[in-house]
Structure 1
Amino acid sequence: MRPRLKGLILQALKSFRGVCTAHGQLPPPPVHQAVATWEAISLGRQPVPEYFNFAHDVLDVWSQLEKAGHRPTNPAFWWVNDTGAEVKWTFGELGHQSRKAANILVGVCDLQPGDRMMLVLPRLPEWWLLSVACMRTGVVMIPGVTQLTEKDLKYRLQASRAKSIVTSDSLAPQVDAISADCPALQTKLLVSDRSRPGWLNFRELMLKASSEHKCMRTKSSDKLVIYFTSGTTGAPKMVEHSQCSYGLGFVASGRRWVALTESDIFWNTTDTGWVKAAWTLFSAWSNGACVFVHELPRADAKAILNILCKFPITTFCCVPTIFRMIVQEDLTRYRFQSLKHCITGGEALNPDVRDKWKCQTGLELHEGYGQSETVVICANPKGSAIKSGSMGRASPPYDVQIVDDEGNILPPGEEGSVAVRIRPTRPFCFFNCYLDNPEKTAASERGDFYITGDRARMDKDGYFWFLGRNDDVINSSSYRIGPVEVESVLAEHPAVLESAVVSSPDPIRGEVVKAFVVLSPEYSSHDPEALTRTLQEHVKQMTAPYKYPRKVAFVSELPKTVSGKIQRSILRKQEWGR
């Protein structure tokens, strides 16, 4: 049986210092040797350990190094809001608090390793705390955005068979409304300063919870997290990742693309329900950096710029949509306190936005590309030459290629599918499967490759140039929206005979949802503007509000194949002028 990674690292540090001392050399700070070990695994240069747990093998190592004075004094976690409230934790304090939370999950919620818990919280410290608690207990976390409706929650709870859910006051009523239809759901945790019947109050439980907890000994292959992702057909799919996939998969990209060290303070504005929140957690904490969080109730360019000026944030990430908003401000009026590195991802970055940001701030924008199923696939690392409009080169340990419909590698310059090699060896930092959906899992593979569903070309220097989706998924402000979800909701309204939903260009969001609607005869004489507003509100009420069609066109018929299938591709090409 192999020893745990934490023991290997601490033993290696002790031996390394001993060798250096014997040769009369001053050893480098131990922290760098620890990161080097994790990074070697992340790059595929060392084998993945049999047993791995991020809380025990990474966070607790940082806590010990911090205690020994081998890490700067900046916090591991720093949360603020607009009212002046603030939470700061060192790695030691994060360990202390997360052990208390772990005891609540096990002792109060009766959750066992492998059980599933939904985490649907706004940007509150408890989201990060409970994420670590899930790691310590072997509980599989299922993050969700706070805009989920009753219908969304019901589907996710039923499909995942989650035994517990954690949420805040705003979503608790929706959970109560559908709890009876979710037989697997046993406990409901509320993050609030108020009590609610039928709910366990997490903050009250934390006041009396013990901090004595022994971390679960998890295998690298054990389940860590499940994300729901939208596709072009059917309901959202469950993407499953293992303990090591995320736990060590982001060390190298965190060190190179995000360029983090133990002295950095990293702010990513992403919602906790999206994968980039987990990407930030694992990238930052594996490299000893501080995760900075602002409650940020809504994306506001001026507010974001003021935060960058007020706090010593060194590294900043947000989606291109927000950067498009920010560069419309007069950036010369702002003086960032410590900012030195900026990254972006989630959708294609417009070269004009990059140029404006760099011209006004002197800072480069480093784009990265990945999916819920992967870690970072391509990136422009700090210090690398950037080709404006390119999403960078392949990010180790991935072998990324452009392939044709048979899975054959295409030469530079030719358009094809972005693919990651999975045979003969499947990368460890990769999703396990689409849970309970072997057909979808099999369909994502072609020959020796996993097919991302995105189209691009690669130039002779290995840079990838994004061209669009193979399917009909709409990427609006980095929110991935499946057209079938919106079409299904529209079909529930009596005014809609049938509809087709596609992407449409937008100067701020990149692309937005547009619905082409064939009206029922009895609604054909209604005022189009009023009917548009009615349908938009209907979608907002029935599904997550970000999915509503910002554009609506009423048409007499939809383009269809001979067999009667709607041809979204024709409408999409029409919208994009192709």
Structure 2
Amino acid sequence: MENGGWNIGDYEVARRQFRLEVPERFNWARDVVERWAQDPHKLAMWWIDDHGNEKKLTFRHFVDRSARLGGALQKAGVRPGDRVIVFLGRVPEWWETMLACFRIGAVAAPGTVLLTPRDLRYRFELAGPAAVITDEAGARKVDEVREQFPGIKAFLTTGPAREGWTAYEDALAAAEPAPYADTHRDDPALLYFTSGTTGYPKMVLHTQSYPVGHRVTGELWIDLKPTDLHWNISDTGWAKAAWSSLCGPWNAGAAVFVHQPKGGFDARRTLDILSTYPITTLCGAPTIYRSLVLEDLSRWKFPTLRHCVGAGEPLNPEVIHTWREATGLTIRDGYGQTETVCLVANFPTIEVRPGSMGKPSPGFEVAIVDDQGNVLPPGQEGNIAVKVEPERPIGMFVGYWQNEEATRSTRIGPWYITGDRGYMDEDGYFWFVGRADDVILSSGYRIGPFEVESALLEHDAVAESAVVSSPDPVRGEIVKAFVVLAPGYSPSPELVTELQEHVKRVTAPYKYPREIEFVDSLPKTISGKIRRVELREREWKKKQGAR
């Protein structure tokens, strides 16, 4: 793998010179992770939970354990190209399983521990797995549907032994280490489910070369080095874990910090951890940062923290400002998808313009195009697109598993269309408007929800907000905001008016929410993205049903 001699201090030089090259025969576990394991003492993971347990694990540990797990899977009949469903929490066994799949050429298909039996049935039908690896709670869910899938060869659980399941540790103890499969760089390696903000999730297929694309993510955007301890506050079930908990850090030889919570996200516990452990770099979804800045940040100090990034959806400028005022650090947004690696980012060497996605990643041609694939000039809204012909950049997905129609629908000529809307300014910074389906059309105006949500968040009373369209007989659609109030505030008609006037002052008046509904929480995907589609569908059904 070569980086083309990228001078990280010069973004424009990097854009001209950067390239990634992957040998034809390539296996990420062998050619990257095994290399770091040559130092038997090199730290790969610092793991803690909320019960006082703590582990420091080396790269050698993960290589040796994944070799035995690979042997156990092979012994059960798992072959190269077979799918392995894995849904585990933030435990070392998840990393071991991912490495084992890379090692033997199997295709890992991660999922969140929150999957229901119905979710599992859908995933099993689509993926056709040869093996399932999960914990005790997951095994109970699988047992509700497993009889429908006689082709599954191996059921491994990290929990106590149960009928029909092999205990994870027993499987490793009885297995010989598997040799590395001599995989091709284009062999299938990962099937990630999209986070499902609209409709049923699709399965995104990546190859053995995909992790190399995350050198952009890890080394260039997150600025990781072999001496770093990186904390990505993310569930293991979505692609952000590949970005920032597995491929990005371990490409760079950085150790990952992992916290397995006993419950849901706790902002104060997170800040306590951040101030106690020698964490140097941090990645979190906007939901995380929005929760953290609601606390009195002056109570904590973060002596080792040097770099912060955010991903999942755009981070509101006021959150960036509050965090910087408290920590001296600027949260640098990055943009990409389950289908990609980091496509656009506020890289360490460029000026951050709060609210902007940043500039295109070296190695990727990103543009704003119209519905015919024509590149639009600065300032004009259109489709955020990535050029994938004549050559597909390393890190781009191959297609949607067993869904050629959906794969074709993402293409306009040589461009992959992300499904997001945005614009580029005169200086080459990209700005997010919204998902194509989220854009609100009101009296001829196109209104992106993000700008309205950001305006609302500038008001002290607002902890979170989600903006969607609501049907209107005169305007076609109006802007409606669902608002979660900050502590100390209560819903009232006066507060509705105050928030509306506030939005009129800080953004174009036509964008203000004509309706505001106060709610206790917002529906979200497991990755922390607000499910505006759920709110929008509920709103339209309610309004149209009332007519």
Pairwise TM-score range, normalised by the shorter structure? 0.7 to 0.9
Contact 1:321–1:510 (CA under 8 A) maintained in structure 2: no
Structure 1 residue corresponding to 2:378, chosen from 412, 433, 446:
412
Structure 2 equivalent of residue 565 of structure 1? none
Letter in 2 for 1:48: V
Structure 2 equivalent of residue 119 of structure 1? 86
Residue by residue, what CA displacement relative to the aligned partner does 1:130-160 show, whole Å, maximum 9, x if unpaired? 1001111111000101111111100000111
Structure 2 CA distance for aligned equivalents of residues 61 and 473 of structure 1: 47
Structure 2 residue corresponding to 1:384, chosen from 350, 373, 381:
350
Contact 2:62–2:95 (CA under 8 A) maintained in structure 1: no
Deviation at 1:557, TM superposition (A): 2.4
Contact 2:195–2:238 (CA under 8 A) maintained in structure 1: no
Contact 2:184–2:208 (CA under 8 A) maintained in structure 1: yes
Structure 2 equivalent of residue 358 of structure 1? 324
Structure 2 CA distance for aligned equivalents of residues 452 and 334 of structure 1: 39
Structure 1 equivalent of residue 498 of structure 2? none
SS at match of 2:304: coil
What does residue range 66-465 of structure 1 map to in structure 2 within 5 Å? 66-67=39-40, 75-107=43-75, 109-192=76-159, 194-210=160-176, 212-229=177-194, 235-245=200-210, 247-280=211-244, 281-296=246-261, 297-465=263-431
SS at match of 2:544: coil
Residues 545 and 121 (structure 1), Cα distance of their counterparts in 2 relative to 1, 3 Å cut: farther
Structure 1 CA distance for aligned equivalents of residues 288 and 467 of structure 2: 15
Structure 1 CA distance for aligned equivalents of residues 275 and 529 of structure 2: 31
Deviation at 1:473, TM superposition (A): 10
Structure 1 equivalent of residue 446 of structure 2? none
- Tell me whether 1:63 sits opposite 2:37 in the alignment: yes
Once structures 1 and 2 are overlaid, which stretch shifts more, 414-423 or 333-342? Answer: 333-342
Contact 1:311–1:337 (CA under 8 A) maintained in structure 2: no
Structure 2 CA distance for aligned equivalents of residues 244 and 424 of structure 1: 18
Structure 2 equivalent of residue 511 of structure 1? 466
Residue by residue, what CA displacement relative to the aligned partner does 1:67-123 show, whole Å, maximum 9, x if unpaired? 5xxxxx66111211111212222122221111111111112x321110001111111
Once structures 1 and 2 are overlaid, which stretch shifts more, 428-437 or 400-409? Answer: 428-437
Deviation at 1:235, TM superposition (A): 3.2
Contact 1:147–1:545 (CA under 8 A) maintained in structure 2: no
SS at match of 1:555: helix
Structure 2 CA distance for aligned equivalents of residues 559 and 219 of structure 1: 58
Structure 2 CA distance for aligned equivalents of residues 47 and 127 of structure 1: 28
Contact 2:20–2:213 (CA under 8 A) maintained in structure 1: no
Residues 545 and 56 (structure 1), Cα distance of their counterparts in 2 relative to 1, 3 Å cut: closer
Letter in 2 for 1:278: A
Contact 1:368–1:378 (CA under 8 A) maintained in structure 2: yes
Structure 2 CA distance for aligned equivalents of residues 466 and 472 of structure 1: 12
Structure 2 CA distance for aligned equivalents of residues 250 and 321 of structure 1: 23
Structure 2 CA distance for aligned equivalents of residues 88 and 190 of structure 1: 23
Structure 2 residue corresponding to 1:48, chosen from 11, 19, 22:
22
Deviation at 1:213, TM superposition (A): 3.0
Residue by residue, what CA displacement relative to the aligned partner does 1:386-412 show, whole Å, maximum 9, x if unpaired? 011101000121100000111100001
Residue by residue, what CA displacement relative to the aligned partner does 1:500-528 show, whole Å, maximum 9, x if unpaired? xxxxx995455389999xxxxxxxxxxxx
Structure 1 CA distance for aligned equivalents of residues 152 and 352 of structure 2: 49
Contact 2:130–2:151 (CA under 8 A) maintained in structure 1: yes
Deviation at 1:558, TM superposition (A): 5.3
SS at match of 1:354: helix
Once structures 1 and 2 are overlaid, which stretch shifts more, 402-411 or 550-559? Answer: 550-559
Contact 1:308–1:337 (CA under 8 A) maintained in structure 2: no
SS at match of 1:76: strand
How many percent of aligned residue pairs carry the same amino acid?
41
Contact 2:65–2:96 (CA under 8 A) maintained in structure 1: yes
Contact 1:316–1:343 (CA under 8 A) maintained in structure 2: yes
Computed over aligned residues only, the root mean square deviation of the Cα atoms, in angstroms, reads 3.1
Residue by residue, what CA displacement relative to the aligned partner does 1:281-335 show, whole Å, maximum 9, x if unpaired? 1110010100110002321100100011111110111101110110011111112
Letter in 1 for 2:250: W
Structure 2 CA distance for aligned equivalents of residues 111 and 130 of structure 1: 13
Residue by residue, what CA displacement relative to the aligned partner does 1:252-307 show, whole Å, maximum 9, x if unpaired? 33112100000000010100001011112111001010011000232110010001
Contact 1:74–1:263 (CA under 8 A) maintained in structure 2: no
Contact 1:321–1:508 (CA under 8 A) maintained in structure 2: no
Deviation at 1:472, TM superposition (A): 5.0
Structure 2 equivalent of residue 498 of structure 1? none
- TM-score using structure 1 length: 0.74
SS at match of 2:269: helix
Letter in 2 for 1:184: G
Letter in 1 for 2:225: T
SS at match of 1:249: helix
SS at match of 2:99: helix
Letter in 2 for 1:182: F
Structure 2 CA distance for aligned equivalents of residues 290 and 459 of structure 1: 37
Contact 2:73–2:154 (CA under 8 A) maintained in structure 1: no
Deviation at 1:236, TM superposition (A): 2.2
SS at match of 1:171: helix
- Structure 2 stretches lacking a partner, 5+ long: 7-13, 441-455, 472-519
Once structures 1 and 2 are overlaid, which stretch shifts more, 361-370 or 44-53? Answer: 44-53
- Structure 1 stretches lacking a partner, 5+ long: 10-31, 33-39, 68-72, 475-504, 517-535, 561-578
SS at match of 2:308: strand
Structure 1 CA distance for aligned equivalents of residues 347 and 198 of structure 2: 35
Contact 2:212–2:394 (CA under 8 A) maintained in structure 1: no
Residues 253 and 233 (structure 1), Cα distance of their counterparts in 2 relative to 1, 3 Å cut: closer
- TM-score using structure 2 length: 0.78
